[in-house]
Amino acid sequence: MTSSHTDCHFCLQSLRGRKYALREENAYCVPCYDSLYANPCQECKQPIECNSKDLAYKGRHWHEECFRCAKCSRSLVEKPFAAKDEVLLCTECYSDEYSSKCFHCQKTIMPGSRKMEFKGSSWHESCFVCQYCQQPLGTKPLITKDNENYCVPCFEKQFAHHCYACKKVITSGGVTYDDQPWHKECFVCAVCKTQLSSQRFISKDEYPYCVDCFSKFCAKKCAACKKPITALGGAKYISFEERQWHGECFTCSKCSVSLVGQEFLTQQGDILCHKCGSA
């Protein structure tokens, strides 16, 4: 073989006036080149002849007209594409099949576009906004209610409870008393300011009191024993003509029989049973 490429390197036929192909500086007539070196097309399985464009991807080859999306059959020549399990797909079909769907609009989040992820779901960046003010949430603190996301200021404005004492937002925990919300640290005795969330208390005029302060400053005194009447634990007390008695102290002044639920008489401030009062 001379460098003038006058003969086919394989069949030795003259190449004068004929098309030929070069491979490693050797010339081949078209039939010999195709039979020796043409790659089989991945799609149609036919050889890709030297006068056809050979498109290659990861060691596989296609005719130009065979290089198409496996789903929609659109040509992928000079277009972006993706491969899944060795199957070629245009970006649209790949997105429809494998890309995440936006939790808000249910549309595909296209490859290369920014997406936000929260609690196992994905959003378009433009869809990940506060439900109330519609401002992007990005990486800001947020609160979720009924599957909707809110920035903290909007959530507090729309849904948060405000403490009955200090009027500020209750962000977590809290105590409910008399159908009103309180911060745990604000729910204190009206006199000594001891926190009441974990102890017994008594209410008066819409305010809570610890037992000691209520007994000392608010409780009425029993007309018999002079001790405070707190009515704790559901204890009964009796009230008559602006005087009060513990249930166990409401007895006849002479014979000490209990007068709870019984008829009684009064005599110079004393409470008497019917028998003693009639004697």
> How does pLDDT run across 65-78, given as a tens digit for each residue?
999 999 999 999 99
pLDDT of residue 63: 93
Structural contact between residues 214 and 204, judged by C-beta atoms closer than 8 angstroms = yes
CA separation for the pair 37, 226 (Å, rounded): 117
Percent of the chain topping pLDDT 90: 13
pLDDT of residue 233: 53
Report the topology of domain 220-278.
Cysteine Rich Protein (2.10.110)
pLDDT of residue 231: 60
Q: Which of the residue ranges 11-25, 53-67, 227-241 would you say has the lowest mean pLDDT?
A: 227-241
In CATH, the number for domain 160-217 is 2.10.110.10
> Confidence band (pLDDT; 50, 70, 90) for 85?
confident
Domains 160-217 and 220-278 share a fold: yes
**Domain boundaries, given as residue ranges, for the chain:** 160-217, 220-278
pLDDT of residue 232: 58
Question: Taking all residues of the chain, what is their mean pLDDT, rounded to a whole number?
Answer: 84
- Is residue 1 pLDDT above 60, yes or no? no
pLDDT of residue 40: 92
pTM above 0.75, yes or no: no
Beta strands in 131-268 (DSSP E): 142-145, 148-151, 161-162, 169-170, 175-177, 180-182, 201-204, 207-210, 220-221, 228-229, 237-240, 243-246, 264-267
Task: Give residue-wise pLDDT tens across range 198-225.
Answer: 777 877 777 788 877 877 777 778 888 8
